[in-house]
Structure 1
Amino acid sequence: FMISAFFWLNITCFDLWLNIRGIRYELQSSSPRLRFAYYSIYVWSAAVIFTVIALTIEHTDVSNAWKPGFGNGQCFIKSRDWSALLYFQGPSGLLNLFNVFFFTMSVINLYQIKEDSYELKKETSQQYKLSTFLRLFLVMGVSWILEFFTYLFAHNNSFIIVIINTLNASQGIILFVVLVLKRRVLILLKNQWNKST
């Protein structure tokens, strides 16, 4: 189910693009809870489908090189052959390509909106959203793109691979610093602290 993190990032990028572009359709005009429910169905259905396919292949009579290798000396899939590319690196890489597309389109749409002074207030809000999601993508997307290189060069135990793996393992801390430890949030926390004392 680790692939679900990539689907969540993907749907976040998609939603940002829809909001900035101003596309109106039934899903976007629905309540945030309903939209979250639709997005959850997409993410978890895709993760379940990937897992079921991988487990089915694991228990069939195909060559071991094509099996994911669940439970064979490790908790994760085999990372030394093609199975990692088929069941993790490939799908996550494809989702990251879509995410880059959605971010690029979002930036292009923001610059188009900027030319229309009537939309200035809306644009500022959208720029803030884009900035937040760009930070999220940089932390999550770029680290996983770099992780793909560790797959390609797994035989090389270089210092760069150790750094990439350390960055990837530190995602939670980095997300906290990038998304929570912002001036605005710290001011809100300070104000809340002053009210309570």
Structure 2
Amino acid sequence: MIISMPFLLLTFLVYLLLPERNLHRRALMSYVFTLLAAYITLVTIQLYSGQFPDTTCHVLGYLIIFFFLVSFFWMNVMCVDMWLAFSGMRTFLSKKTAERKRFIIYCFYAWGMPIIHVIIVFCINQYGNTAAGYHPQIGVKRCFLGEGMPTFYYFYLPMAILIGINITLFVLTTVRIQKIKRETSMLKQTDSRRHTYEDDKQKFNLYLKLMFAMGINWITELVSWAVDFAFSNTPTFVWYITDFTNAMYGLLIFLIFVAKKKIWRSLKKKFVWIIYAKKVSTGGNNEHSSNIRLT
């Protein structure tokens, strides 16, 4: 997980510096940022376990649930947006103003749903029956959900549901793409429509790679939890596999979204423009200074 963090940070910074910041890039930045925040919070708890006051311990536990869940909802947002693009329901939202409105709606959804979830967990943890199997047990033995079913109910289950929805959306989108390919009318469309289609298809391929990497990562995480829950002595290799997938996930995101010629060309273009603007500004100032001295 610590290995993933620098690559997540680099991915976020690169997209922050890119000149064009469309909805696709904003959603990806939100996903990477919240995943990085979740990793930082989790690593902090793991490194300094038992050293936090009770209040801080509880807050960190809720933050882990919140940031991980927000990252999953942003992944869901990207899947929904791709499905809307190929289903034809997004054509009326192609303008930038409409795209901003859509992003605001996505923000309310991706941040609002986890907030509601955390509030529910908080209320059950504070006022629920502590002896019940559904009690979250945050802060009882560790600064996170209790081991066993509480972790499943309030952490893995919501994420598994979102992964299932995302897989369904990817299947539906794939079917739609194949249908569009078979339609001969597609060849008669204008260049701008074909260009939009190709752009959306490229984004879909990127999201598919991201979804595959995330699926492998969280399937191993869920399997390791299930093995640990079922057996008293969990085989060491299970944790090695989980640690490896966690370590490689940030690198995979970096390779999928940053290690591309198009991204580097955009960065190069931006920095060349900045250098040129500075030279023009400096030249103008020097000319102005020389004029002052001459007078």
**TM surpasses 0.5:** yes
Quickly say closer, same or farther: Cα 1:52–1:169, change in 2 above 3 A.
Answer: farther
RMSD across aligned C-alpha pairs, in angstroms? 2.6
1:151 pairs with 2:218: no
Match of 1:31 among 73, 81, 98: 98
Q: Distance in 2 between matches of 1:27 and 1:63?
A: 50
Q: Distance in 2 between matches of 1:106 and 1:136?
A: 15
> Paired residue for 1:99?
166
Cα deviation, 1:31-89, whole Å, max 9, x if unaligned, reads 222111111111222101111111111122242532222123423212x3111111011
1:61 pairs with 2:139: no
Q: Distance in 2 between matches of 1:167 and 1:113?
A: 35
Instruction: Give the paired residue count.
Output: 196
Q: Distance in 2 between matches of 1:143 and 1:76?
A: 20
> Paired residue for 1:164?
242
Match of 1:111 among 170, 178, 182: 178
Asked if the contact 1:150–1:161 (Cα under 8 Å) also holds between the matched residues in 2, the reply is yes
1:125 pairs with 2:125: no
Match of 1:176 among 248, 254, 262: 254
Quickly say closer, same or farther: Cα 1:192–1:48, change in 2 above 3 A.
Answer: closer
Asked if the contact 2:130–2:137 (Cα under 8 Å) also holds between the matched residues in 1, the reply is no
TM-score normalized by structure 2?
A: 0.59
AA aligned to 2:86 is I
Asked if the contact 1:68–1:84 (Cα under 8 Å) also holds between the matched residues in 2, the reply is yes
Asked if the contact 1:8–1:43 (Cα under 8 Å) also holds between the matched residues in 2, the reply is yes
Match of 1:8 among 53, 74, 83: 74
Flag the structure with larger Rg: 2
Q: Distance in 1 between matches of 2:73 and 2:215?
A: 11
> Paired residue for 2:41?
none
Match of 1:75 among 127, 138, 143: 143
Q: Secondary structure at the match of 1:53?
A: helix
Identity between Structure 1 and Structure 2 (%): 27
C-alpha deviation, 1:134, in angstroms: 0.8
Q: Distance in 1 between matches of 2:250 and 2:150?
A: 27
Asked if the contact 1:20–1:110 (Cα under 8 Å) also holds between the matched residues in 2, the reply is yes
Cα deviation, 1:112-133, whole Å, max 9, x if unaligned, reads 0111244352432222111111
1:42 pairs with 2:109: yes
Asked if the contact 2:93–2:99 (Cα under 8 Å) also holds between the matched residues in 1, the reply is no
Asked if the contact 2:129–2:135 (Cα under 8 Å) also holds between the matched residues in 1, the reply is no
Structure of higher RCO (CA pairs closer than 8 Å, 6+ residues apart): 2
Q: Secondary structure at the match of 2:82?
A: helix
5+ residue gaps, structure 2: 1-65, 188-193, 277-295
5+ residue gaps, structure 1: none
Q: Distance in 2 between matches of 1:77 and 1:116?
A: 51
